[in-house]
């Protein structure tokens, strides 16, 4: 079941994200950051267990980012990531966003959802504020993709 995250989901969300962050496959998120941004997140719950999460973060009047997409490895490749991203995209449309971007090491996944490559220099400068927490900063090798929405 895909649903909006609740505060009692945060500790498990952090565990899932950290399992990828420690391998430098995604940016780590602190508990305080997750609590502060809880309204951005969707989770996938199966049998009372949180098995994945994903956030839609609004940057400006027409631009949002899909971030912190993570699914427990034992639940990977079962369509959960796709469902989480689609929930975020649906919310983006409801909010009136015109475009949604993501930074990723798995561009093929997002391309299947009709995201297209973009030049990172097109991203709002505000995006890079979180990058200082990345162990790869300033040599980012993530790929930027964008999806135009029909509003």
CATH of the domain at 81: 3.40.630.30
110 and 145 in contact (C-beta within 8 Å)?
yes
Q: Which pLDDT does position 136 carry in this prediction?
A: 57
Helix (H) or strand (E) holding 41: strand 41-46
Q: Kindly state the tokens that stand for 5.
A: 């995250």
Task: Determine which of 11-15, 29-33, 34-38, 122-126 has the lowest per-residue pLDDT on average.
Answer: 122-126
- 126 lies in which domain range? 2-148
* Number of helices (H), then strands (E), in the chain: 4, 7
3-state helix, strand, coil in the chain (%, to 5): 40, 30, 30
Report the number of distinct structural domains present in the chain. Answer: 1
Give residue 46's pLDDT band: very low, low, confident or very high (50, 70, 90). very high
Higher pLDDT, 120 or 87: 87
């Amino acid at each position: 079941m895909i649903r909006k995250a609740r505060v009692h989901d945060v500790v498990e969300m952090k565990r899932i994200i950290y399992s990828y962050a420690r391998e430098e496959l995604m940016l780590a998120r602190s508990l305080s950051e997750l609590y502060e941004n809880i309204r951005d997140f969707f989770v996938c719950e199966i049998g009372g267990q949180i098995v994945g999460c994903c956030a839609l973060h609004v940057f400006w009047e027409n631009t949002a980012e899909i971030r912190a997409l993570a699914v427990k490895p034992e639940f990977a490749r079962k369509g959960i990531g796709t469902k989480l991203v689609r929930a975020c995209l649906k919310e983006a449309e409801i909010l009136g966003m015109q475009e949604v971007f993501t930074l990723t090491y798995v561009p093929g996944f997002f391309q299947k959802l009709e995201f297209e490559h973009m030049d990172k220099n097109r991203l709002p400068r505000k995006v890079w504020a979180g990058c200082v927490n990345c162990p790869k900063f300033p040599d980012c090798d993530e790929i930027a993709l964008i999806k135009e929405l029909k509003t």
